[in-house]
Homo-oligomer: A and B are copies of this chain.
Amino acid sequence: MYNFTFHVPTTIHFGKGQISHLDELAQYGKKALLCYGSGSIKRNGIYDEALRILGQAGVEVEELSGVEPNPRIETVRRGVETCKTTGVDMVLAIGGGSTIDCAKVVAAGARYDGDPWDLVIHPEKITAALPIFSVLTLSATGSEMDPFAVISDMTKNEKWGTAAECMKPTMSVLDPTYTFTVSRRQTAAGTADMMSHTFENYFTMEPGAYVQQRMAEGLLRTMIHYGPIALEEPDNYEARANLMWAASHAINGLVNAGAANAWCVHPMEHELSAFYDITHGEGLAILTPAWMEHVLSVKTAPMFATYGRNVWGLQGTDDMSVARDAIAKTREFFFVTMGMPANLRAVGIDDEKNFRVMAEKAAAGSKGSFVPLTADDIVEIYRAAL
């Protein structure tokens, strides 16, 4: 097990009705910037409920609406400007991971003299942030309990992740009923995203990270068990609750502290989103089995076989055979059980013209991963996924 520091300071209020805890924001100041997306929180009543509670607690509200699914740096700049001109004390995101990611960089940008894009490409420049709060409406990214944010500049086809200790939310409300209205397609994409986070941490060359791997298997089993139930019964509380809580733990440090190597599927997918603006979780689902098949070898077969036995309940003593079956199970889960697009053509990417440039950038972002990938490897994976 590698040395590590583990620190998860976020207070989570989990369950039906926990939005009442938004009154705690009054302890942090008088004015909050409320960040949200396309306005679905107005249709489902969460917006009104939040404003009512904040109003009763004496917290004034400024707004940053229209945060995109792959949040843009232009939106971050708009939020920072509002913070600086109106004296905002804290930032409250109501939405999914994109909204929370945007709110995080707004909060850091409000305490930075310069263009917030600096903070995306140079995380070390993030030294302070306004307190960050969230009300989660989509189970996927884990942003509600982690230090990460991913921001895009579509004018440059750039999408990068950044991170800082001070961007970990102070408090997040996780009410599974808020995800009842998430569409079939977004439920599937969210499940693929949380599974990919777990995979990126689970497949490690550090053999001593036993407890992290056993917990990761518990998360994967939960996602595989409840993902299909949530598709069929969108208002099944038990399914939505388990997916929501598993997603948070997939990326908050629990399964990567002491175990982690660099991620590789996420960097490959970020290039797809940066060039084609596709849905992140769909890109991950498309790339994951192709990546697994590419890195399967005599050396990695025991890890994939352990995955097959402990997550999928596969039997058999031949590691390579169990490993192949495990990858086939993963493919079947995403593309049959969860009904997700099975290749890049299905999300509108019809040719190879950007593969080389994307692969060069992704290779730079995945140094030191489970199986180190060159740009040539990544081009092959993109091709296999086409």
Contact = CB atoms under 8 A, between A and B. Distances in A.
A211 B222 contact: yes
Contact of A258 (B9, B10, B11, B14): B14
A336 interface: no
Contact of A214 (B10, B16, B219): B219
A8 B6 CA distance: 10
Interface in A60-89: none
Contacts of A2: 15
Interface residues of A, number: 44
Nearest to A176: B1
B1 A241 contact: yes
Contact of A225 (B11, B210, B218): B210
Interface in A242-261: 242, 245-246, 249, 254, 257-258
Nearest to A172: B6
A374 interface: no
A257 B225 CA distance: 20
B1 A7 contact: no
A4 interface: yes
A89 B237 CA distance: 46
B3 A210 contact: no
B1 A6 contact: no
A166 interface: no
7 closest cross-chain pairs (CB), A and B: A3-B15, A214-B218, A208-B238, A6-B12, A211-B222, A1-B241, A215-B218
22 contacts: A1-B237, A1-B238, A1-B241, A1-B242, A3-B17, A4-B15, A5-B11, A5-B12, A5-B13, A5-B14, A8-B8, A9-B9, A14-B257, A15-B258, A208-B241, A210-B238, A212-B245, A214-B219, A215-B215, A217-B218, A249-B254, A254-B254
